[in-house]
Structures are given as structure tokens and as C-alpha cells.
Chain A
Amino acid sequence: MSESTPSVFRRFALLLSVFRRILTDARFAGQVAELHAGRATAASDARGGKETPRLREAEPNAGLQLLGLLQRDGRLIDFLEEDVGAYSDAEVGAAARVVHEGCKETLAQHFTIEAVRAESEGDRVTLAADFDVSAVRLTGNLVGQAPFTGSLVHRGWRVTETRLPQVATGHDLRILAPAEVEL
């Protein structure tokens, strides 16, 4: 009998343990609520039924659109395509200002980005058993069981809101910047 269609006895045992965990674990309760409402959680999707493939191609359009925006407002492609080795730090620095200012504006306009952990880098942090493994990466002397205590090396970044522009049907996103001809 597979894990996804348990027996009556197994289901009764599950009922009791789930009952207790719903009361004690708010996050788990939320996931059950989602499941009950008919919305499978992202985690359950990723683990997948037999129909969904385990890996899929990333959809290129959003990537192309973002590259186009970073080029248009921040000249990112121009900057990366140029040979930095041929110039002095001052020259590279001057161009980097253009890239920094423009790309920063693009990010601020289209995403809300915040740190995953609110603590300062270098602080001691403790991770409870149910911490989100995709949001926190454990490194170094990785042994034992949760709770884990360690030093925060990088605060992480999380996008909380995406506001990418709408794109006209038929617009060729592969053109990151059109060639420009002045008459």
C-alpha cells in the first residue's frame, strides 16, 4: 500500500497525530487548511504526483524581460560585455555608478526585497525544528538535530512582492536593447 493511499487503521492513527499537531503547530495547521480548501501547497506539488515531472524548464520570458529592464535602466549588459581588465579602477567605478543607480531603481520598482533573517550578521541565532530549509542554509559543523544554534553569516534575501510590467503580446523580448541609428 503506497504512502499516498493509507489503510483505515493508518488513517485513524494519522487522525490522532494530526489532531494534536494542528493544535500545537500553527504553520502545519495553515498547510492543512490549504489542503482542505483544495489548494495543494507548493511543497506537496514539488514532491509531486506521478503526472508532474520532477524538473521543468524555467520559463524564459520573465528572465528576458528582467534582463531588458536591467539593460534599459542600468546598462547591465553593456557593462558586463565590456572587458573590465583594460580600464583603471576609476574608469570602471564611474561606469559602475551608472549600473548601480539604474539597476537599484529597477529592482526597487519591480520587486519588494527584504532580508530573510532580521538579526544582524554575526549574531547567534537558533533554528527550531520546523525551520524552512529553503530559506535558511546550514553550513560548517553540520551534525546533530534541531534546534540548531549558530552564527548568522548572511541575512539572505527574499522577494515579498513582484511587480513586473505587463508585456504586449507579440513583443519580442529577446531584443534586450534595440540597435539605435540616429538620422
Chain B
Amino acid sequence: MSDARYAVGIDLGTTHCALSSVDLDASEWDEVTQDLMPVPQLTGPGTVAALPLLPSFLYLPHPDEFAVEDLTLPWDDRTDQLLGELARSVGARTPIRLVSSAKSWLCHPGIDRRSSVLPPGAPEDEVSRVSPYQASVRYLEHLRDAWNHAHPEHDLVRQEVTVTVPASFDPAARELTAEAAQTVGFRRLVLLEEPQAALYSWIHDSAGTWRKQVRVGDIILVIDVGGGTTDLSLIAVTARDGALELVRVAVGEHILLGGDNMDLALAHLVGGKLTATGTTLDHWQIQALTHGCRQAKEALLMDPSLEAVPVVVPSRGTRLIRRSLRTELTGGEVTHTLVEGFFPEVPVSARPAARPRAALTKLGLPYAQDAAVTRHLAAFLGMQKGATEDLPGFEPGGGSFLHPTAVLFNGGVFKANLLVERVMKVINDWLATDDAPPARLLAGVDLDLSVARGASYYGYVRRGGGVRIRGGTARSYYVGVESAVPAVPGVEPRIQALCLAPFGMEEGTQAEIPPQEFGLVVSEQVRFRFFGSPVRRDDQVGDLLEDWSAEEIEELEEIEAYLPAETRTPGEIVPVHLRASVTEVGTLLLEAMPLDGPEHWKVEFNVRNPANE
């Protein structure tokens, strides 16, 4: 079937991208030949160096900003956009032209993700802005070109490519990611959830010993705190035909809270000390301070005996000694701001202060309003307490939350052992209140690169080379149906939720067709309300829900169906069934199928914000 030589894993991260590959011809069973590709990129004008990571920043330069030849890459000389390390560093000086966190914008429900909105503050007539979707395409193009430059015999578009997405990405954001990868040309594409990729990497690194480190009945909690997002997943260890099997049973909601928030929090704290002495900091200095604070934080967290570490904000001009600002970061400040601010000891009944998606007052990313990762974690475990009820070999959970038995950390934040210890303590305190045994720490993951490495390893195991994590979709999906009751003036018609896709649909499968019919008007956009539930595991296709709580079912963006007038008259009403399937790539596909014909029409996820139209 395949002429692919490599399984390639791409971590398309909020702040960094990485690419790893497994040589399929040189790998057998647990003997896997894996590589991490250094990514050539502009590191300065006219300077190209290969770095392990590609910073996910896109910079839209002014025509007078760089000499044309200074933007040459080994494979092309596009001068209207530059990305990677140079984009990041010049963007610190000219933020109005810098696109950052495009991935977070890609799943932003409040904007049209295909319209050119980035950078959000850029003057429209000066900077030709890009869409979150286009930015993702650009990062993937760069990785493709870098790979092809290094492997001219093995074009990336013909290799088995796995692109990772946050487990919490909604169906629309997954589809946009898949579409971006397909636009770049990847023909053998699958998506993989990042926490799963981290676990795959851990399995690979254990060189076969993972089977001894976990046992049937274990529930592994993966806590992945990246640069911009926090992603949670629960993976259960079960047995099938005598062999261990892994089942991903639950994923958390999308939390825009990551390592960058933590560094920024420290920078504002230290910046506050400088402003108190009468200095004002500009954007560049805040960036430099953030960089300095990150270094100081790492030193303080590595060595608890240090009381304080100096932080210097270098001058922008040549007078480095006279104009640099000197201050310090103390161990107490790090403990207070980071450990207590982001990982406070809270009871398991604690919940985040506000719904993360509430009240968008202006165009910006919907950052988590509660910075406490441990409160988000408590909410997740509380909500998922029934996640393993249907699995054979698992005790019905008696406590107030799901009891993890092992924890895997991922993300550069957890290089600080102090934070790992704190989270473990919090979880084990929760477990102790329910008289449950403490959870174990699964150690040994490369915190920065495990997602890319796990993704390429996954491409290898998909061909039969090792254990796979099953699980399918981590939500059930519903379409809104107006109930047939007489209209009451002033009262909105009641909405029922019709289940289209049950929980846990595997890749490459189709759901049953629900009996309910919908009338679609030919040549007109028809919209439906659309819902997803991360906890309702027993609903079957065709089930109609009358009442539900906001905790168990979340409204997603609308879906819209459009019937072209090719074979029918505009305005005609066509009765259709709606059917859900999960594609081989791993995206959710909704189709409208007329009762009286063989056609299938794709029902699109609405990624446009109705408020903008």
C-alpha cells in the first residue's frame, strides 16, 4: 500500500513547532530508529541556522525593513512573510506586525478563523493580515520545505504524517488543522491528541518496560501544560486477549493557560518593582524582562537554596552598563506567584472562578479567567468521575472525583521539579480524603519534544509496530431540534438535543442514521445549533434529550448545510437525514442525505462568527 519510508510527527504548537521522524525501513518492534529534524530558519537578517524548534511566530515585514537578499532561505526567498526565530525577535520590537498564538485563534469561537484578523492590532491599510488558518498553513509549509531540503529523495507529502492537536480542540478546529495540512499537500495524514502523543513518547522511551510500570486497572492522568494551553486527558489501562491495552476515556476542556502566562506574571511582578522606582518599561523591555525572569525562575526552581537571582533588563541602546536596569527575583516571589498562583493547594471540590468562555468584551483570546491549574484539574476529575464505569475491570468510583493511579507530566513548565511535586501533593491529598492510594509519577518524558517524538512513534505503531491507545471521539455530539409544541409569544421554542454521534466513535467509522428528518431548503444556508458532551457516554444515535445541564452539554458553534441547486429547484424543501462519521484522518464529518436520492452533502462547521455578519 505504501511507498512511505518515514513516519513523521509534527508538533504544531502554540509557541513552538517540532518535527520528528521514524525510519520505517530501519525499525522493527521495540527497535525504533527515530530522529528529530533541526529546522533551518532565519535567526537574523541574512543568517540561517538549524534549530531544534521552530518558534510559531509569523512576521509581516514592512517593504523597507529588510534587504531582499537578507530573507533568503535555503529553499525559497519569499519576502512578504518571515517566520521562526527572526520573526519572534523582530516582533518583540515591532509587535503590530507579529502574528503569535495562531493556534489559540484557530479554536477561538468568537472570530471567523478563515478571515484575515491577525495580528489583531495591526493597522489594516498597512499590514496585509493573515487568518489563523493561513498562519497554520505557513508553519506547515516551512516544515515541509525544510524536510524536503534535507530529504530530497523522500518528499514529505508522500510520508505518513501525524499532526498533533490539543485533546480539547473542538471538531471545527480539528478540521481546520487537517485542512491546513492537506493544503500543504500531506496525503497520508492523521491527527493525534497531544497528551496521547506524550504517552506514546513515554512508552517508546521505556523501551518495553512500560508493561511492568502499569497494570490493568490503572488510570493515567496526563497533564500537558504547553506554552499557551493546558490539556488534560485520562487514559485507562485495560486487558484484551491477555495483553495490556490503553483506552483514552476523557479529555478536558480547552484552557488557555500555559507557561507563557507564568513567565509573564513574573515579569509583571518584577516590572512592578522597577516602576515603583520611577522607571517605565516599553514593550521591548517587558519582553526582555520576561526572558530574564524565565531564566531566573528556572534557576530558583532548580535550586531551592537560592534566595534571589538578579534579573537584568538590558538597555536598548549601546550604553549597556549605564542604561541596563537591574533588579532581582526572589525565591519567595516565585513561590508566591507561580506555585501558589498557578498551582495552589485547593480541595478537590474547588472549581475555576468563572467559565473560561464567558463574556468576551473585546477581540482577544479567551484566556482562562482562573489561573489556578489545580482548580481546573479538580473540575476535570470531578466532572469525569464516571469515566471508567463502562470499562471491564474497573471498580465503580465511590468518591467525589475520578481517582487517577498514575500521572504523566508534559510541557517545559514541569522542568521545575518543585511544580511536579506540588501537583503530585495536591492530587495525593485529594486521593487521601477519599481513602484512595496515592498516585505514582511516570517519569522520563522529554518535556519539550515528547509530543513530536510521540507523534512519529504513533505513525510507526499504526502500522502494527506496538501498542495503540484506543478511545475514539471524547465527546458525544447533538444537533438542536425545535420541539413540536404550540408557540407561546415571548417564549423561545424549547430545543431538544438529538444525538448524532455517540461517545467514543473510532476513526474510520460511521454512526447509524437517526430516524429524524430535517427539511433543507435548496440554495439556502440552513443552520442548526450544535452541541457536544464530554461526559454522556451512554447516549445512542437518535436519542432525544429534553433537559440537560450546562455542565454536561456544551453548545458549540452552529453547523450549516447548503444544498446546491444542481439537480433540484431553488427553494424546494428536501427532507434529509443527518449522519455523523469520523474520518480516517480523525475529524468529525456530518453529512445530509436526502431520503429520495443517493447524494451526500457535507454539513459544515460554522467557523464564522455570526456577530460579524
A interface with B by C-beta (< 8 Å): 65, 68-69, 72, 75, 78-79, 81-82, 84, 87, 90-92, 94-95, 97-99, 101, 109-110, 163, 165-172, 178, 180, 182
Contact = CB atoms under 8 A, between A and B. Distances in A.
Nearest to A177: B318
B319 A168 contact: no
Given A94-B326, A95-B312, A72 B69 contact: no
Contacts, number: 86
Contacts of A178: 45
A63 to B, nearest CB: 15
Contacts of A75: 314, 320
A165 B312 contact: no
B310 interface: yes
A94 B46 contact: no
Given A166-B47, A168-B70, A87 B322 contact: yes
B49 A97 contact: no
Contacts of A95: 312, 314, 320-321, 324
B153 to A, nearest CB: 22
B321 A82 contact: yes
B142 to A, nearest CB: 16
B74 interface: yes
Interface string B307-344: 00010101110111110101000000000000000000
B295 interface: yes
A72 B44 contact: yes
Nearest to B62: A183
Nearest to B325: A94
B72 interface: yes
Given A75-B314, A166-B74, A169-B69, A109 B324 contact: no
Given A72-B44, A98-B324, A166 B70 contact: no
B323 to A, nearest CB: 9
Nearest to A102: B314
B442 interface: no
Given A170-B70, A171-B67, 17 more contacts: A68-B47, A82-B321, A84-B321, A91-B321, A94-B326, A95-B312, A95-B321, A97-B312, A98-B324, A99-B320, A163-B50, A166-B48, A166-B49, A166-B74, A167-B46, A171-B45, A172-B46
A165 B321 contact: no
A167 B320 contact: no
Interface of B: 40, 43-50, 67, 69-72, 74, 93, 295, 310, 312, 314-316, 318-322, 324, 326
Interface residues of B, dominant DSSP = mixed
A109 B51 CA distance: 9
Between A68, A69, A98, the greatest number of chain B beta carbons within 10 A of the residue's beta carbon is seen for A98
A127 B533 CA distance: 74
Between B45, B72, B314, B321, the greatest number of chain A beta carbons within 10 A of the residue's beta carbon is seen for B321
A98 B47 contact: no
A170 B43 contact: no
A82 B47 contact: no
B321 A79 contact: yes
B67 A78 contact: no
Contact of B314 (A98, A167, A171): A98
A165 B48 contact: yes
15 contacts: A69-B44, A91-B321, A91-B322, A94-B326, A95-B324, A98-B312, A110-B49, A166-B74, A167-B46, A168-B47, A170-B67, A171-B46, A171-B47, A172-B46, A182-B93
Given A169-B69, A170-B67, A98 B320 contact: yes
Contact of B47 (A78, A79, A99, A167): A167
Contacts of B50: 163
A109 B49 contact: yes
B306 to A, nearest CB: 15
A81 B318 contact: yes
Contacts of B67: 170-171
Contacts of A91: 321-322, 326
A170 B66 CA distance: 13
A182 B7 CA distance: 46
Nearest to A169: B69
A79 B178 CA distance: 49
Contacts of A168: 46-48, 69-72
A171 B319 contact: no
A172 B312 CA distance: 31
Contact of A82 (B46, B74, B319): B319
A76 B174 CA distance: 46
A81 B320 CA distance: 9
Nearest to A109: B49
Contacts of A101: 295
A78 B318 CA distance: 5
B522 to A, nearest CB: 54
A7 B407 CA distance: 78
Given A75-B314, A171-B70, A94 B47 contact: no
A172 B47 CA distance: 11
Contact of A79 (B72, B320, B326): B320
A79 B317 CA distance: 11
A174 B457 CA distance: 45
A82 B49 contact: no
Contacts of A98: 312, 314, 320, 324
A65 B48 CA distance: 12
A66 B315 CA distance: 22
A67 to B, nearest CB: 13
Given A75-B314, A171-B70, A92 B321 contact: yes
B30 to A, nearest CB: 30
B319 to A, nearest CB: 6
Nearest to A101: B295
Contacts of B316: 180
Nearest to B68: A170
A127 B521 CA distance: 92
A97 B310 contact: yes
Nearest to B73: A168
Nearest 8 A-B pairs (CB), nearest first? A171-B46, A165-B49, A170-B69, A94-B326, A168-B46, A78-B320, A95-B321, A166-B48
A146 to B, nearest CB: 43
Contacts of B315: 78
Contacts of A180: 93, 316
B426 to A, nearest CB: 33
Contacts of B320: 75, 78-79, 82, 95, 98-99
B474 to A, nearest CB: 40
Contacts of B322: 82, 87, 91
A94 B43 CA distance: 26
B44 A78 contact: no
Contact of B319 (A78, A163, A165, A182): A78
